[in-house]
Structure 1
Amino acid sequence: MKRNIHPEYRQVVFRDRSAGLVFRTGSTLDSAVTIEFEGATYPLIDVDISSASHPFWSGRERIVDTEGRVERYNRRYGTTREGKR
């Protein structure tokens, strides 16, 4: 491995401002802002979306079918109430 070309890998704290989630993990990101977390000082990275606020992972995802595509698909390829077509 070449020396002095890789970024420093260290522990940082990520904060999801919309959900209030704060967690520590390893990263090569750097920040001038620091935070006290679990008795130590770490660089702080603010993120817009994490698993706590993302609609898919939080269970708030909604499927919007404004053009009736699901119904059209079911009419063409779907099954009837009795089973197979």
Structure 2
Amino acid sequence: MRHGIHPPYGPVVFRDKAGDLAFLTRSTLAARDGLKTVVWEDGNTYPVVDVEISSASHPFYTGTARVLDTAGRVERFEQRYGRREAAR
């Protein structure tokens, strides 16, 4: 890697307010100005990024995902637009 062209890579807390989950990881987002900070469990202060959805609140991972009814789509299409003739 060339020196001086990459943003700093440091610890950042990502917080999902909907799922009440926060985790500490490393990211280049730490270099952004205007990020809020939070005191983590280890007593250190880290920048925090609020996210709208994570594995704690995503329906797929929480088991609340709904299955869409795909049966009958072809039949509804054929009713609406008619049946296609067989290719010759």
Q: TM-score, normalised by structure 2?
A: 0.71
Residue aligning to 1:81: none
Structure 1, unmatched stretches of 5+, are 73-85
Partner Cα distance (1:61, 1:41) in 2: 36
Q: CA shift at 1:10, angstroms?
A: 0.6
Which has the higher Rg, Structure 1 or Structure 2? 2
Structure 2, unmatched stretches of 5+, are 76-88
The alignment yields a C-alpha RMSD, in angstroms, of 1.7
Work out which of the residue numbers 32, 36, 39 in structure 2 matches 1:36.
39
Q: Tell me the alpha carbon deviations over residues 37-63 of structure 1, each in whole angstroms, 9 at most, x when there is no partner.
A: 011100000000000000111111110
Identity between Structure 1 and Structure 2 (%)? 54
Stretches of 4+ aligned residues off by more than 2 angstroms = 66-69
